Amino acid sequence: MIGMGSVSAWRPAVQRLWNRFSCTRMRSRWCSRIIVWRTVKTFLQLYLGAVALRIAKYVHRDAIWCVCNKTRPARTRDGVVDDGRIDDQTAIGAAAIEVAKAQLAERADGSQPQPPCLQGMGDGRLRRERHTPAQQWILLTMTDPLAVVVPRRLSTGADPRIVAANRLFDLIVALAEDVGLTPIVTDDPDYPLEGVGGVLLPGGGDVNPHRYGCTSTAAVYDVNDEQDHLDFTLTARARDAQLPILGICRGAQVLNVAYGGDLQVDLAAGSVDHGAAVFSWHPVHLAPDTRVRAAHGADELVVASAHHQAVASLGAGLVTTAWADDGVIEAFESETGWVLAIQWHPEAPGVPKRLQQAPFKAFADAVAQSGRGALSAQREDS
């Protein structure tokens, strides 16, 4: 046995070790360091764990599969292979599903096959050469076949005409939404059009007269070269892509100039007040067998106008489809493709709801028939 003297000899040494490693003596410097480290370690574990869970939630391989193939990975459920189709509009087609089934059948262990866009990539990242960031955004978000691009109004200021134009812009966007369209408002002239079904050109200030070979006058207002560049670039790209285009007021004038036509820089006083400063209500006559006549279901309308410029001569491939009593062209459309331009303001307050929505419904029908649906068919064929 160990005597009492022996115990009293080794007890202080044991006590010192205990105080150093058990943290019972809070005034110990070593103990304080351990407490700080353990606290920091616990916080980092909890924080990084939460971040990892959030990343895992949004960056899952199923989501990446959907981006590349527009279909979920095929799964085996109770012995039946689920083809993973999301819906008819977003699925890339039967070919992708058959590939997924074949890959699943080749895996003897029954594990999930690697999506084609991840093959050869151990870290599971998207191959950048397949999709640019803008294209990835479209594939992730643009699942609506009635999505249309709307150039943003860039002018600001206290001028009552600019304030009114910006308010009317909001009404145009709201009307587009009312008929089932999904407006994508952008200030990017190079916005990718492969994920949308059409372009909507709203009203606004005057087109720079230099664009159609005329000189400016004191009557010209709110000329914005950046706005012109945005509108004309999107119009040209939509025309090349054969997308439906609807132009309203300034949008109609942009379309005419884009097709090679010109404008009257300032309308002379005539028998019809076209409302240069405030809305003016006057009749317009619609040509039979035209898009604008089919959309409104009438030969004559009373419309709200607010413009001091108008079409002087139409561009190539455009035809007049509506006019005022003084001969001013109030609507025109293209001979090929789907392009409709109206000089009046269907979005103006006081216009009956049916007449407000008429051109937008016709535009939505054109987008549904020839926009995203045609693109999906091309992808399936490829």
pLDDT at 339 (0 to 100): 98
Lowest mean pLDDT among 32-41, 175-184, 337-346: 32-41
User: Do 229 and 189 contact (CB within 8 A), yes or no?
Assistant: yes
Q: Is the pLDDT of residue 16 over 70?
A: no
226 confidence band (pLDDT: 50, 70, 90): very high
Across the strands, what pairs with 331?
Answer: 322, 342
pLDDT at res. 76: 39
Identify the pLDDT of residue 57: 47
The CA–CA distances, whole Å, from 140 to 43, 90, 131, 361 equal: 34, 11, 11, 26
* More confident call, 233 vs 376: 233
More confident position, 287 or 36? 287
Residue 75, both tokens:
């799964």
In the DSSP assignment, the letter for residue 116 is G
The mean pLDDT of 232-240, rounded to a whole number, is: 97
Checking DSSP bridges between strand 147-151 and strand 182-186, what pairing results, if any?
Answer: parallel
Average pLDDT over residues 59-66: 42
Given pLDDT bands bounded at 50, 70 and 90, which one contains residue 84? very low
What confidence tens digit (pLDDT) does each residue in 108-153 have?
444 444 433 333 334 333 333 344 545 444 444 444 568 999 999 9
Q: Are strands 245-248 and 198-201 parallel, antiparallel or unpaired?
A: parallel
Beta bridge partners of 80: 77
Q: What are phi and psi of 75, to 5 degrees?
A: -130, 155
Percentage with pLDDT > 90 across the chain: 48
Q: 17 or 266: whose pLDDT is higher?
A: 266
Mean pLDDT of 150-175: 92
The closest alpha carbon to 306, from 334, 330, 332, 285, belongs to 330
> Between 356 and 68, where is the model more confident?
356
Task: Say if residue 82's pLDDT is above 60.
Answer: no
- Structural domains of the chain, ranges and CATH numbers in brackets: 135-381 (3.40.50.880)
Please check the confidence at residue 365 and state whether its pLDDT lies above 90: yes
Catalytic residue status for 210: no
Whole-number Å distance between alpha carbons of 346 and 353? 9
Length of the chain: 382
pLDDT band at 44 (very low <50, low <70, confident <90, very high): confident
* Gyration radius of the chain's alpha carbons: 33
Catalytic residue among 249, 274, 330, 333: 249
**Structure tokens, 150:** 């709307």
User: Distance between CA 44 and CA 42 in Å, rounded?
Assistant: 6
| Residue in 329, 256, 335 with CA at minimum distance from that of residue 289 | 335
Residue of higher predicted confidence among 47 and 237: 237
Report whether pLDDT(22) > 60.
Answer: no
CB-count exposure of residue 189 (10 Å: 0-12, 13-18, 19+): middle
* pLDDT in the model for residue 12: 59
Q: What is the mean pLDDT of residues 41-56?
A: 66
Q: For position 117, what pLDDT does the model report?
A: 38
Beta bridge partners of 184: 149
pLDDT of residue 268: 80
pLDDT tens for 171-216 read 999 999 999 999 999 999 999 998 899 999 999 999 999 999 999 9
Please say if the pLDDT value at position 251 is more than 90.
yes
For residues 77-97, average pLDDT: 40
What pLDDT is attached to residue 11?
A: 58
Whether 117 is a known active-site residue: answer no
Has 23 been annotated as catalytic? no
Bigger pLDDT: 45 vs 299: 299
- Write down the pLDDT at residue 39: 73
Euclidean distance between CA atoms 83 and 98, whole angstroms: 8
Residue 280's DSSP bridge partners are 305
51 or 14, which is more confident? 51
Confidence of residue 257 (pLDDT cuts 50, 70, 90): very high
Read off the amino acid at residue 341: A
As a whole number, mean pLDDT of residues 37-50 equals: 71
Q: How far apart are the first and last CA of the chain?
A: 91
What mean pLDDT comes out for the span 239-264?
A: 97
